Structure 1
Amino acid sequence: MFFRGAGYIAQGFPAPGLRRTVRHITGHNAEGRSVFLSTDCGSHHRIIGDQQALANIIYSTSETPVDMNNDKDLQHAKDHEPPMHYPQGTVLRMMDFAPGLVSPMHRTVSLDFGIVLEGEFELILDSGETRILRQGDISVNRGGAHTWRNLTGNGTMPGRMLYVLVDSKPVITAEGVELGEYLAELAPYYVRE
């Protein structure tokens, strides 16, 4: 369950106290030379919870391998805010967390790489096991149910994580039980029709 930090992110990206980040997208000119196509802060920003977290979609793809010809991937990423993850695709999402925020327990059917960009976070698994991650630390979450707690400044400062979500085959336990996606209170922000 979300708690603390209600109303913290009122103006959008970036969250108060965190740096503005810029993405640079490259492509090719008519001669095939690499060029910069755009420099911005991302196409999609979404405030989550009671203004407690902010998702910045850096990029997403809806297929693997990615078709970059005629800028097909660029157009899709610009025109479509992704779900939590794309079947057969990828999502690169940066999250700003309010001070002391605890995310809902959730599971995705994806391979998730979580990188601490700014701050300190506790990763809590549904088994009760925990780990503390600091700036530069990385989690490799293989479909596990989990929650994040922002510990930055003893819970008094915002923090930032970067997530790369890659689609996976269904996760099945040794007993043959399929562990499906469970988003809890996050569902309204990521489930797409």
Structure 2
Amino acid sequence: MQQENKTFRRVVTGHDADGKAVIIADAPPAHTQLVGGPGGPTFFEVWHTLETPASIALQPAEPEENGLVLPPPKNGTRLRIIEFPPEGEAFRKLMAADTAAEFKSMGSEKTASTGEAAPHPLMHRTKTVDYGIVLEGEITLVLDRGETTIYAGDIVIQSGTNHAWANRSGRPCRMAFVLIDGSFSNEFDHA
């Protein structure tokens, strides 16, 4: 099944020389990337911040990015939209080496946590708090112990959990993600 990417707009606001609020950009996201080849998800990199609190400029500039990077910048945030096509047979046969290479290409080789016992070939964990919102379709959140299907309008709040996304619906799914840089508490030293 060929997935059609529906265009969406990214409207960026700022201020004019008088300090009045204005629209400074109104176009699709500038950075889009298909991951894993045909049948893989498409990442739309919408925006990211480099620090907290975020610097607010009169005329915010397009954030610079060298390729697709999975986590947000240190002490920053990242907003992305991902379109997940339905999982096909080729996707289900991914080997751990293939997925490790995909995560490495996104600057996140240490996030992959696949193996023979992994419940999904794209299991991974990041040091982030993530807000995932299903915009269209449905998708299954796969965890080490359990899974749940989430639908349009549902929101997932992840706190550094090992997870994967499985689109078993037969239709594309579009999700918005807000990733916030984090750190694991000392509790993880004993888990």
Cα deviation, residue 157, structure 1: 1.4
Which of 33, 36, 39 is matched with 2:23 structurally?
36
Tell me the secondary structure at the aligned position of residue 157 of structure 1. Answer: coil
Unaligned runs of at least 5 residues, structure 2: 89-119
Cα deviation, residue 112, structure 1: 0.4
Give the corresponding residue for 1:156: 170
Which of 150, 159, 162 is matched with 1:145 structurally?
162
- What is the CA–CA distance in structure 1 between the aligned matches of 2:144 and 2:185, rounded to whole Å? 15
- What is the CA–CA distance in structure 1 between the aligned matches of 2:171 and 2:126, rounded to whole Å? 27
How many residues in Structure 1 have an aligned counterpart in Structure 2? Answer: 157
Cα deviation, residue 19, structure 1: 2.5
Unaligned runs of at least 5 residues, structure 1: 9-14, 178-193
* Residues 113 and 93 of structure 1: CA distance in aligned 2, closer, same or farther (over 3 Å): same
Question: Matches of residues 96-175 of structure 1 in structure 2 within 5 Å?
Answer: 96-100=83-87, 104-127=122-145, 129-151=146-168, 155-173=169-187, 175=189
TM-score by length of 1: 0.74
- What is the CA–CA distance in structure 2 between the aligned matches of 1:103 and 1:116, rounded to whole Å? 21
Give the corresponding residue for 1:69: 57
Letter in 2 for 1:176: H
- What is the CA–CA distance in structure 1 between the aligned matches of 2:47 and 2:121, rounded to whole Å? 22
Contact 1:42/1:57, CA 8 A, preserved across alignment: yes
- What is the CA–CA distance in structure 1 between the aligned matches of 2:27 and 2:121, rounded to whole Å? 28
Question: Matches of residues 52-63 of structure 1 in structure 2 within 5 Å?
Answer: 52-63=40-51
- What is the CA–CA distance in structure 2 between the aligned matches of 1:54 and 1:163, rounded to whole Å? 13
Letter in 2 for 1:118: E
Letter in 2 for 1:168: G
TM-score by length of 2: 0.75
Higher relative contact order (CA 8 A, sep 6+): 1
Cα deviation, residue 171, structure 1: 4.5
Give the corresponding residue for 2:69: 83
Which of structure 1's runs of 4+ aligned residues deviate more than 4 A? none
